[in-house]
Amino acid sequence: MAKYPVNVMFNETVLEHFRNPHNAGSLPDATAVVEVVNPVCGDVLRLSVRTDAGRVAEARFKTQGCVAAIAAQRR
């Protein structure tokens, strides 16, 4: 199987979001937390939100997965 440089496989916008994900991390005072796993590739996403008066006040995510899975978690 041929190996390609990552900049050939993904455009610069995707790579920027992978390198500098927005809203990444834990949210200790979360109102709700959900974790999903893609059984095909093994990617894992944990999404935490804190609500205030019925609205999302803050959200954070943690992803273990490929470049595309991490980059998709942009603001």
Q: What pLDDT sits at residue 6?
A: 54
pLDDT-derived band at 75, boundaries 50, 70, 90: very low
What SS3 state is found at 65?
A: coil
Percent of the chain as helix, strand, coil, to the nearest 5: 25, 35, 45
What are the angstrom distances between the C-alpha of 74 and each of 22, 59, 63? 5, 11, 12
Q: What pLDDT sits at residue 14?
A: 78
Q: What is the pLDDT of residues 13-69, one digit of tens each?
A: 878 877 887 778 889 999 999 999 988 888 898 999 999 999 999 999 888 877 777
The pTM assigned to this predicted structure is 0.64
Q: Cα 17 vs. chain centroid, distance in angstroms?
A: 9
CB-count burial class (<10 Å; 0-12, 13-18, 19+) for 49 = middle
Classify domain 6-71 at the CATH class level: alpha beta
What SS3 state is found at 44?
A: strand
Question: What are the residue boundaries of the structural domains of the chain, listed by start?
Answer: 6-71
